[in-house]
A and B are shown apart, each in its own frame.
Chain A
Amino acid sequence: MKGARWPALLSMALASCGTGGDKTTLTIAMVNDGDMARLKSFSKDFEATHPSIRLKWVILPESTLRQRVTTDVAIRGGQYDVFTIGPYEVPVWAKRNWLTPLNDLGREYNADDLIGPIRSALTYNGALYAAPFNGESAITMYRKDLFQKAGITMPATPSWTFLIQAAAKIHRPEQGVYGLCLRGKAGWGENMALIVSMANSFGARLFDKHWQPQFNTPEWRNAVTTYVDALRKYGPSGAAANGFNDNIALFAQGKCGIWFDATVAAPFLSDPKTSTVSSKVGFAPPPDQGLGRHSGWLWTWAFAIPATSRKTAAAKEFIRWAAGPPYINLVAHRLGWLAVPPGTRKSLYTNPDYRRVAPFADISLNAIKSVDTSSPTVKPVPYVGAQYAAIPEFPGIGTEVGQQFSAAVAGQISPDEALAEAQAAAKRQMAAAGYYK
């Protein structure tokens, strides 16, 4: 009797293999932002129109996703068929042949509709290596009511000098309103995204063409001193520990006069359900110090296929659907235009239905369009990237340097000490990585 169960089990196992044979399961690793969560909720629609493909989602926070995906692709683990990466990863990984090129996504994908800088940030040696799902730059957000009360008007393109003067006029800490909110929390994706973008507008660069760190230059000194002074004088207390999430909460509660951060914050703050200041928030382009480069950055979460995947055809089918026009129309039809993943396609910004609900559309699009990741600042650079340098060493350097700037905002060290430490740390890590002989 005991042995009799085995044939039954075996035939069941074989049967399940049989059905698995003509169905392809795609394992998709993606970051846990709102757009992605919405995409997952629409996966039934994809499976209904593509009956031979089943989707399996692995949704992770940004840093965990990056660690998993990076180690998997580096040791050729082959756990994922599709994952979301950004313009930081694309050039580094494409150079090592870890990604499948996506030039053949077809007519209906319409790659020519992609916003220029987003497309080129995901392109390496002429080939597209990742299909953008959503994209962002940075935007100046401010309280129109406070500006009006103080008798100041936001210029068409503000400079940092103007923003800091305006912050001084509307700074009322005793009433719980702080002039200027900026990221202070250490991390290459936290304060460094802001500080490097800001430094670009001050004419600073991360490395010169011999890969020497530039934190000892007057441009960096100017940028960091301005940042630290402004935040210490007009920032909320505790600014040194505030990241994107802390600042969006402060602004939504009406505690910030001016905030410069990612464009993805704009719809959130415009929504009366999530923001107490939805009717009072104004938008302006990223600050510009008059040197020809503004402080906007560029990021996009984009779908890529690792070279190890053996389900490339199905993976491309999925990407064509999720990152292409059909998905945008599907979301707009079901949830409205504000729920559509923004920042990737020109056609979205010419769409009158979208423009009607998104007052920040033009500013966001212009900010994205005017970032040149291959020439982010006035002086020539050997790296690609606006708020980062696309080299394997940057996250390590960015984290250590970011900690120094965070300590300066906290008042533990002076901006000059922070810059000296930053220069030493960057040099040490670049030397260890073998950039200098």
Chain B
Amino acid sequence: MTASTVSGSPGRSHLRLSGRLLVAPALIMLLVTSILPFIVTVRFSLIDYRLLGPKEHVFIGLTNYTRLLTDPAFLPALGNSLLLIAQVLAISIGLGLGIALLLERVVVGRGLLRILVVSPFFVMPPVAALLWKNLLMAPVSGFFAWIASLFGLQAFDWFARAPLSSIALIVAWQWLPFACLILLTSLQSFDREQREAAELDGASPFAIFRYLVLPYLARPIAIVVMMETIFLLSVFAEIFVTTGGGRASSNLAFLVYSQVMFQYDIGAASAAGLVAVLFANILAYFLVRAVGRSLDA
């Protein structure tokens, strides 16, 4: 207890050295846990490595990458990824804003309402997908089909006619609470006096919303867009449970899964994974810039 107490002040160089030594374990840890696997992945992506294949791991250059990029399923999957994100963002932010505006007006029981609104967020993705597929969207025995039959209409075959939009609907239902909560929290901190001043000046509720509230919400909306996009890039369970993939509904994550988990092709998997990381980084770069711009405004 006593001997270890440092007496006397060490020189600057000594401080720097001991500082470095103290940081070293963390750095080594970081290297081992993140950089090394990355290097290994890059190496795997350049060799022909199949778990079930013959054991020679030949260097094949960029073949894994060219195979992926020339795969006719690649571009549709890329497009589906973007389309899915766009649809989910539109639904979750549009509806989320609407619900947030309504909730803001409620005085009694807001806490309970808020819990109800949040609840979809706690449903696990596969469970949500099963719920929607079998109880709501099933064209024979589902809830929507029953409603349609009340009006004498033909049931809509969701996953056959609009597979991607149906999946987007399920995912949007899960992400709606997130958007709603963030927007509601921002709305609650909106300056009441500003609104009252506008009302006194005779501004219509729409004008108040359009010129005061919406610009005020630009930042939280930008943050919702960024957060959701990062998570939505990896949507998987909803596709797996409902359509089982395909040109019309596979996104990038599902494509990587089906290429990897069915073929045990570690080389192709590593290449696909790296391409997906690159794609996510490009998307994140633009989003961060967009968010930054809205923060400056």
Question: Is B160 an interface position by the 8 A CB rule?
Answer: yes
**A187 proximity list for chain B (CB < 8 A):** 244
We find that the number of chain B residues with CB closer than 8 angstroms to chain A is 38
Contact A238–B247 (Cβ < 8 Å): no
**A75 proximity list for chain B (CB < 8 A):** 51
Once the chains are docked, how many angstroms separate the CA of A398 from the CA of B262? 9
A-B contact count (CB 8 A): 112
Contact A238–B139 (Cβ < 8 Å): yes
Binds B, one of A275-283, A298-306, A308-316, A402-410: A402-410
Task: Show the binding face of A for B, using Cβ within 8 Å.
Answer: 63, 67, 70-71, 74-75, 92, 96, 176, 178, 185-188, 190, 236-241, 243, 246, 249-250, 253, 255, 392-393, 395-396, 398-400, 402-404, 406-407, 409-412, 421, 424-425, 428-429, 432-433
Once the chains are docked, how many angstroms separate the CA of A412 from the CA of B162? 10
Question: Sorted from nearest, which 10 A-B pairs have the closest CB atoms?
Answer: A410-B160, A392-B52, A403-B246, A237-B139, A186-B244, A395-B262, A238-B139, A396-B263, A74-B51, A241-B159
Provide 28 A-B residue pairs closer than 8 Å at the C-beta atoms, listed in order of the A residue.
Answer: A63-B261, A71-B51, A74-B51, A75-B51, A187-B244, A237-B160, A238-B139, A238-B157, A238-B159, A241-B159, A243-B244, A250-B141, A253-B141, A255-B140, A255-B141, A396-B259, A400-B258, A403-B246, A403-B247, A403-B250, A404-B246, A404-B247, A407-B247, A410-B161, A411-B161, A412-B160, A428-B71, A433-B50
Task: Tell me the smallest distance from the CB of A275 to a CB of chain B, in Å.
Answer: 15
Once the chains are docked, how many angstroms separate the CA of A403 from the CA of B71? 15
**B51 proximity list for chain A (CB < 8 A):** 70-71, 74-75
Q: Closest residue of chain B to A74, judged by CB?
A: B51
Contact B138–A238 (Cβ < 8 Å): yes
Question: Is B216 an interface position by the 8 A CB rule?
Answer: no
Once the chains are docked, how many angstroms separate the CA of A214 from the CA of B158? 32
Q: Closest residue of chain A to B55, judged by CB?
A: A96
Q: Closest residue of chain A to B73, judged by CB?
A: A400
Task: Tell me the smallest distance from the CB of B76 to a CB of chain A, in Å.
Answer: 11
Residues 244-277 of chain B, each 1 if its beta carbon lies under 8 Å from chain A, else 0: 1111101000000011011111001000000000
Given contacts A237-B139, A396-B259, A407-B247, 8 further A-B contacts (CB under 8 A): A186-B243, A186-B246, A238-B157, A392-B263, A403-B244, A403-B247, A410-B163, A425-B72
Residues 113-142 of chain B, each 1 if its beta carbon lies under 8 Å from chain A, else 0: 000000000000000000001100011110
Once the chains are docked, how many angstroms separate the CA of A188 from the CA of B140? 25
A403-B247, A411-B160 are known contacts. Are A237 and B140 too (CB-CB below 8 A)?
A: yes
Q: Closest residue of chain A to B53, judged by CB?
A: A392
The DSSP consensus for interface residues of chain A is: helix
**B72 proximity list for chain A (CB < 8 A):** 421, 424-425
Contact B73–A241 (Cβ < 8 Å): no
Task: Tell me the smallest distance from the CB of B276 to a CB of chain A, in Å.
Answer: 18
Contact B246–A236 (Cβ < 8 Å): no
Once the chains are docked, how many angstroms separate the CA of A425 from the CA of B246? 12
A190 in complex: contacting residue of B244, B246, B258, CB < 8 Å? B244
Interface centre among B133, B243, B268 (most CB of A within 10 A): B243
Question: Is B95 an interface position by the 8 A CB rule?
Answer: no
Interface centre among A178, A243, A249, A399 (most CB of B within 10 A): A399
Contact A70–B264 (Cβ < 8 Å): yes
**B163 proximity list for chain A (CB < 8 A):** 410
Contact A395–B263 (Cβ < 8 Å): yes
Task: Tell me the smallest distance from the CB of B51 to a CB of chain A, in Å.
Answer: 4
Once the chains are docked, how many angstroms separate the CA of A178 from the CA of B141? 12
**A190 proximity list for chain B (CB < 8 A):** 244
Contact B139–A236 (Cβ < 8 Å): yes
A71-B51, A186-B246 are known contacts. Are A399 and B262 too (CB-CB below 8 A)?
A: yes
Once the chains are docked, how many angstroms separate the CA of A241 from the CA of B155? 15
Once the chains are docked, how many angstroms separate the CA of A404 from the CA of B73? 11
